[in-house]
Amino acid sequence: FWQASEEVEEIKADPEAEPVKKAPDQAKRNLKRIKIDTFVGMGFSNLVAFFIMLTTAVALHSHGVTSIDTSAQAANALRPIAGKFAFALFAIGIIGTGLLALPVLAGSAAYAMAGAFKWRNSLELKPSLAKAFYSVIILATLGGVALGFTSLDPIKALFWSAVINGVISAPIMMVAMLLATNSTIMGQFVIGRTLKLFGWLATGLMVIPVLVMLYTLIW
């Protein structure tokens, strides 16, 4: 949501820039930039995810720890690797993750709501000119900070937030594919056969686990 909104803001900021649908000659440069951005971003995020799983397997599973219910357990599980610095290492990791996640999630939520309700939205605007937009950022940030003072366990919160993200991603991907394959919306930039095939395949791989999870929860 944030990235899409930033693309619109860049067009507004550059007097010579126009949406590629109206100015196809600008498409090659812009699509190349977006492609590089997407490949680099997804590459690093998947690399980080892989090493999280790898280090968890080495530090926890190989030492017989197969179930983590609290953050204290996770910190203790790191003791064979990090020794007396286990708690400090885990705390730094949690704090660092929060500092990275809070602004991104708050900003994305604000842009998503602003787009849905057609509010003025931009981090370039003063708060007085986009009150609803900035209110969402403030409330989301304060809400995230407040969770740290509750009895809610961060491990379970991370788990369930991942589950919710997975469930929400399925319909979002379906809508994205319907938009990307619609020539009325995309014009000459409608996605090709190969991208359409892999796009729907990826969407299906997201939808199936969601349906299976809901089925097992209900029955």
How many C-beta atoms lie closer than 10 Å to residue 72's C-beta? Answer: 13
Q: Which two tokens stand for residue 176?
A: 């994205």
Buried-state track 174-201, b at ≥16 Cβ within 10 A, e below 16: eeebeeebeeeeeeeeebeeeeeeebee
Q: State the virtual CA torsion across 203, 206, 209, 213 in degrees, nearest 10.
A: -120
Q: Which two tokens stand for residue 55?
A: 């280090």
- pLDDT digits (tens), the chain, 219 positions: 788 888 888 888 888 888 888 888 888 888 898 899 889 999 999 998 898 888 878 877 877 777 777 777 777 777 777 777 777 888 888 788 878 888 888 888 999 899 889 998 888 889 999 999 999 999 988 988 888 788 887 778 888 888 998 999 999 999 999 999 999 999 889 999 999 999 999 999 999 999 999 999 888
What is the per-residue pLDDT for 201? 97
Whole-angstrom distance, CA of residue 89 vs CA of residue 78:
9
- Cβ neighbours for 82, distance < 8 A, ≥ 6 positions apart: 89
pTM for the complete prediction? 0.70
How many C-beta atoms lie closer than 10 Å to residue 77's C-beta? Answer: 20
Four-residue CA torsion sign, 85, 86, 89, 91: negative
What is the per-residue pLDDT for 174? 95
